[in-house]
Amino acid sequence: MVRPDELHSNSSPVSSTGRRNSLVTRLRLCRPFDTAEAHELDVVLSRHRWSLTSYHRNAIIAFRGDRYERLLVLLRGAARSEMNSYHGKRYAPAEHAAPCLLAPAFLFATENSLPVSIISTSDSQLLRLPRAAVLELCHIRPEFLESLMSDISDRLAALAEKLRLSRLATIRERVADYLLHLSELRGTRTMELPHTRQELAEIMGVTRPALSRVFGELADKGVIVYDRGDVQIIDLDSLLELVPE
């Protein structure tokens, strides 16, 4: 483990405007901060005790069991979160690419201990923003509140979908069920997928190449047509046959 470098931290209410400026610019690239005006972010940052830390590859950003009291915003680089079994075996890893929030729901959970460890997978930079600053932004900027709520809700929906698909044994079954489910919810057979290929792979608990292989197979057989994020179901019956009782 490499010791992180604490680049900046706002330890007093009066802090340099220059370094806040560059932080605000970077922060506005990240949902839900993109909904706020620069001057609003600047005011909130000037009032709260945030910190900005840089990590090398393989450094541990947060430990499982840590109290989650400040919002973790990955501003640069990439990270991985993972769970461990009681015998130290790692499973259910998830990848995170900057800019993004890390496990934001735990900031508000009653049981706010982090259930995963988060490891830096490249040189990265992390902002820790107090809960009170997040709530203040929700108050002064309703769009920020809506965007944060929608981010947390989307994560919950993805988790529910993952749980739904986890009862199915093969990747083919999972892809078929996912497409049928989405098609039913949308009421159409021509769909833009609401997830990137990487997110889809995580929801289905498979690797990206394995997922692409199944999409390729289904296309070769004429069951679906797909082009990047757009999928059309051609042969509904064949897709239904792939899903077990």
User: Site map for its own copies, 199-218, x if CB under 8 A?
Assistant: --------------------
User: Which one among 78, 138, 219, 234 touches its own copies, defined by CB under 8 A?
Assistant: 138
User: Which one among 17, 34, 37, 167 touches its own copies, defined by CB under 8 A?
Assistant: 167
Report the Cα–Cα distance between both ends of the chain, in Å, rounded. Answer: 47
Nearer to its own copies, 4 or 115 (CB): 115
- Binding part of the chain for its own copies, among 54-62, 120-128, 140-148, 208-216 by CB under 8 A, reads 140-148
User: Which one among 7, 92, 210, 225 touches its own copies, defined by CB under 8 A?
Assistant: 92
Query: What's the angle, vertex CA 237, arms to CA 234 and CA 239, rounded to 5?
Result: 75
User: Residues in the chain, how many?
Assistant: 245
CA-based nearest residue to 196, from 158, 222, 234, 163: 158
Cα-based distances in Å from 20 to 10, 44, 138: 9, 11, 20
Asked whether position 17 contacts its own copies by CB under 8 A, the answer is no
Size of the site for its own copies (CB under 8 A): 52
Asked whether position 225 contacts its own copies by CB under 8 A, the answer is no
Beta bridge partners of 191: 231
Asked whether position 161 contacts its own copies by CB under 8 A, the answer is yes
Helix ranges, 76-232 (H): 131-140, 142-166, 171-186, 197-204, 208-220
What is the DSSP-derived secondary structure letter of residue 65? T
Asked whether position 89 contacts its own copies by CB under 8 A, the answer is yes
Nearer to its own copies, 8 or 131 (CB): 131
Task: Give the separation between CA 44 and CA 40, rounded to whole angstroms.
Answer: 6
- The least CB distance from residue 53 to its own copies, in Å, is 23
Helix ranges, 187-243 (H): 197-204, 208-220, 236-242
User: Site map for its own copies, 101-120, x if CB under 8 A?
Assistant: ----xxxxxxx-x-x-----
Nearer to its own copies, 142 or 216 (CB): 142
Q: If residue 22 lies in a helix (H) or strand (E), which one and from where to where? A: helix 17-27
- The least CB distance from residue 3 to its own copies, in Å, is 24
* Residue 202 and residue 152 in contact, taking contact as beta carbons nearer than 8 Å: no
Q: Which residues of this chain interact with its own copies, rule CB under 8 A?
A: 64-65, 83, 85-87, 89, 91-92, 105-111, 113, 115, 135, 138-139, 142, 145-146, 149-150, 152-157, 159-164, 166-167, 177, 180-181, 184-187, 194, 240, 243-245
